[in-house]
Amino acid sequence: MSTLIEYPQGPQAVEELAAISPLVDNFLHLIAFDTQADENQCAAPSTPGQLTALKWVHDKIVAYAQATGRSDYKLWQNAQGVLILQLPPTAGCDAAAHLLLLAHIDTAPDCSGKDVKAQVVKAYRGGDIALSSGLRLTTTLCPELKAHVGEDILVTDGTTLLGADDKAGCAVLLTLIQQALHEEFAHGPLSFAFTVDEEIGRSADYVPLEDIGANFGVTIDGCAQGELDVATFNAASCKLTVHGRAIHTGTAYGKLINAVKLASSLVLQLPENQAPESTRDKEGFYHVYKVQGTVEEAQVQLILRDYTKEGLQARKDYISHLAAAMNAQYSDSVSVEFTDQYVNMGAILQQKPQILALCRQAYAQAGVEVHENWVRGGTDGSNLSARGLPCPNIFTGALNCHGPYECLPLGAFHKSLACTQALIKLASKADLTSTTPA
């Protein structure tokens, strides 16, 4: 029996969705901007398109405020480009803790985000989706699609990513801002941050927590419906520099030391069953992602991941042991440099569980089954939590991010908005300063 094939519809069908959903309308405006981050640039943000998109966001917020006659807000942008909106509490919510909601405007370097052409599968029936470029989004590649039969699903034309990571989160924030400025729900002190360069690991450093003064935070970022990210890896990078000795091959006997071969030997001594392609769930890994060099000098670059600090330290110790053994044989030929990247936010959230308790309640109120997830990577919440802002992550509904197979089921997208709105309402009544869960 042949596989059912779904064929997306083009601009008119997409525009019809935008006309009936402010959330979808905001998203479609945002993906029109090319905001791909660039790790090779030192500017903050790394690409000018991010500032262009944030200028549009800024003007949209001002227009929302003007439509309601509101002037009791603070809207500002810091030197790195982060756009922040702060709203005072509504009547009777002055004692509530200060909640910060975050989403990032940049898209991943992995795939182009220029000239994104969104299409829509109307009332998805459960088959493979034939993208315009000839690529096929299959249910084997994305089994999560099976949970979204009957929903409208935004897809790409197969030549770019969609940008739902994390313009879907930005669209949620914009929609909530419009609702909050219209005073559609009660809230305590409330801040929104549209961040930059998250995809290249810089955004958490750019968020001015001291100036915002929030007690708790939540990122709204790409993942499947129902996911609540409560823990991440501890992460470090490692650079091994191997020094050889170049001698003419005709007289090399007993003298030449080949740095490339020594670097290869180090890589081969890493446990094969502790690589990303052979680990899952809560298993950590070593990942070699770049090797380059000559006989004279070679470099091996790795990332190390583990859910416990002790496990990460053990991985560092093992690599240091390999280097020491080689140095004993080849006279200090290897140097090792470790750089800590982010920490497991789970430990911080366990110490201050109030925000997680509220997230669980918010999911329940929105009719969403919660799936608490240990991220096999990091989030902005990792480093923000380490900086003192307990910060789990709420789903957007986006699937297959960072490439042309990316898609956004609109039912899940609207559920993300519903969960976040419920969280704001619950936080307006909760004592988040207590030492016990709400």
Phi-psi map region of 227: left, alpha, beta (phi>0 left; psi -120 to 50 alpha): beta
Q: Could you confirm whether 183 is annotated as catalytic?
A: no
Q: Phi/psi of residue 29, each to 5°?
A: -65, -40
Q: Which of 6, 151, 152, 198 is catalytic?
A: 198
Q: Is the Cβ–Cβ distance between 374 and 346 less than 8 Å?
A: yes
Q: Do 183 and 424 contact (CB within 8 A), yes or no?
A: no
Cα–Cα distances in Å, from 296 out to 16, 99, 241, 256, 260? 62, 54, 11, 9, 8
What residues pair up with 77 in beta bridges, in sequence order?
A: 83
The dihedral built from the CA positions of residue 144, 142, 23 and 186, taken in this order, carries a sign that is positive
Neighbours of 1 (CB within 10 A): 3
> In 106-189, at which residue ranges do the beta strands (DSSP E only) sit?
119-121, 128-130, 136-137, 153-155
Residue 325, CB-side half-sphere exposure with 13 Å CA sphere: 10
Q: How many CB atoms lie within 10 A of CB 109?
A: 17
CA distance 407 to 328: 53
Cβ atoms within 10 A of the Cβ of 130, count? 18
CA dihedral 196, 200, 204, 208 (to 10 degrees): -40
| Cα-Cα-Cα-Cα dihedral sign, residues 250, 253, 255, 259 | positive
- Choose the catalytic residue: 6, 34, 106, 166: 106
Cα separation, 214 vs 203, whole angstroms: 17
336 bridge partner residues: 240
Structural contact between residues 174 and 61, judged by C-beta atoms closer than 8 angstroms: yes
In whole angstroms, how far apart are CA 4 and each of 7, 121, 126, 146, 348? 10, 13, 7, 13, 46
The span from the CA of 363 to the CA of 361, in Å, is 5
Q: Specify whether 106 is catalytic.
A: yes
What does R_g of the chain's alpha carbons equal in angstroms?
24
d(CA 23, CA 397): 13
Catalytic (active-site) positions? 106, 198
